[in-house]
Structure 1
Amino acid sequence: MKHASKLAFLAAAGMATAGAQAADFEIAEGTTLTLGGEVVLNYLYEKYDNGDNDTKFVDDGSLVILGGSHDLGNGITAYVETEFEYNALGNNDDVKRDASILGFTGEFGEFAVGASDNVFEDLISDAVDPFENATLDQVSLTDEDSMVTYYSPDMDGFSFRLQGRHNNRGKGESAEISLIGAAEYDFGPVAVAAAYDSRGSVNSGDNEFKSQDHVVGLAITGQLTERLEASARFAQENDQAGNDKDFTAIAMVYNYGGGDLYGAAQNYDPSGGDSSTQVAAGINYDIADSLMIFAEYGDLDRKLTDGDIVDADTNKLGVAGLVYEF
């Protein structure tokens, strides 16, 4: 399934450990340094709606992550994490800091400042996204920087997450302020989640930032058998003009023993255009605890998302890849 990525190397509340082979070094009593990362390589085939096609061999987000934690006493632990993005293929010499975070965990839950994952994405978007690359279209959410996030502890199956973003703009311009909230109730075999993101955008008329482009969503995930999981999600994206875009999706993941077989389908219905249906499927195999290979195919009807600027939409996508965590 989708590899864990951003800033998730320390097993704090609300955050899962990625990188099975991440190394922990105790440098003093109560103080630990963590070093890890991942290499993600993809070979892509893309076919556009104008009939053209393209193949690419790309690095799809290789990272080195540095983290540290310190026991402050009274049941409180502080941690810091920073991730650096690099190109494992060597055709790009850039190494850049991608995100960083400061957090505190304890019986109260978790409090984090920095580039935390958007909590709407965590509980709603990711519910139907088992893919490494062939992800179906998602709603547009608040950017993941300048975040202040609170993760509640588990309260007999119920938990919630609150998040705010304050992004400074130019002198005399209103700051970009967004509020995000999500809640989940885990009944055991079934979990239900709901979320809201005020999002917002800059008004072209007066250059003011207005939180009138909100997004709402609902997701349900069920463990049908020991090996089979099913999920469904509805999300709606609105804008200041009163238009909306509806995203209704289902997904299934089957663990066959050596890995997962997975797929998803989605109906995309914009109020100002034609609806469309997207489907994708994939399979992965765990060669070792820290090494996975995968193959995916999608009929997506979407634009390229790897930074290339093209006029044509990507109708079909095939990808084979490798993820190595260390």
Structure 2
Amino acid sequence: MSEENKTMITVIHLLGFRTPPNTTFLIFVLFLLLYCLTLCGNLLIITLVSYSKSLHSPMYFFLSQLALADILLATDILPNMLHAFLVENITFISISNCITQLYFFAVSETSECLLLTLMSYDRYLAICKPLHYTMLMNHQFCWITIITSWSLSFLAVLTYTLDISKLQFCGPNIIDHFFCDLDPILQLSCSNTILVQLLVTLSTLLFGFIPFFVIIISYVHIIITIFKIPSISGRQKVFSTCSSHLTVVSIFYSSLIFVYLIPSRGQSLNITKFLALLYTVVTPMLNPIIYSLRNKDLKNVVKRIINNLLELHFHNH
């Protein structure tokens, strides 16, 4: 196609979920509830970790950062989805806004991979190297790794999103998805996308695959150490300290693997959208619930706060 015949597009039509008109409001309320639960749950974890001295440990510090990544992810995806349901799924988004959404989505996913890796390293040290734990996992190390993780996430994603912003897009201007994911955007481009795909592959390898293997290696060592504990109650007690993290890792990586590694030709678009919902909407909401339900320290802090509030209430009356 010659340059003159190419019609450049500046606006994209996101098809989203084509729901029957009589169910649209119900689905809107459901997703609004999910968004509120996500914000409240993750903000609660950040608040509890910040204000409770009993939670001032590396594990909870990393957990509060994970909650921050979940808030970023949910806020990047859900408000646009909610708006789409209100305007009967007729969602138009500019190319620049679409790339911005992709940027913050990729930043939150990248930081989540790195944070889950830090959390698995923390559990590895606590269970396999308990004598060295306080020396290695000190306050300074925690802050350096967190600042590095966030900085790497923002910079790594910036390298390929800047290249995406330089591409020419000539349509069709329709994306059959509920948010601006990488592949649908690149499919609209009439420029050469080899450099972008190369940068994305490199970023995925460095911030997706390598962290995943580090997590697996950490858990292999953790499981070996747990099996060496003679008593069953001792094994259960040690395993309970990392079971919630293992649950979150399993949900997060399994949904990513299904969407991005299993060939899309074998999946219908509806299955892809449903799986994408898992890690963009469901996982950020589930993370604080999983950690709260399976964690005695968090439960105790919440109970203590509720008891203090009740005592204050009865005292005032």
TM-score by length of 1: 0.26
Which one has a bigger Cα radius of gyration? Answer: 2
Higher relative contact order (CA 8 A, sep 6+): 2
Q: Which has the higher helix share?
A: 2
TM-score by length of 2: 0.26
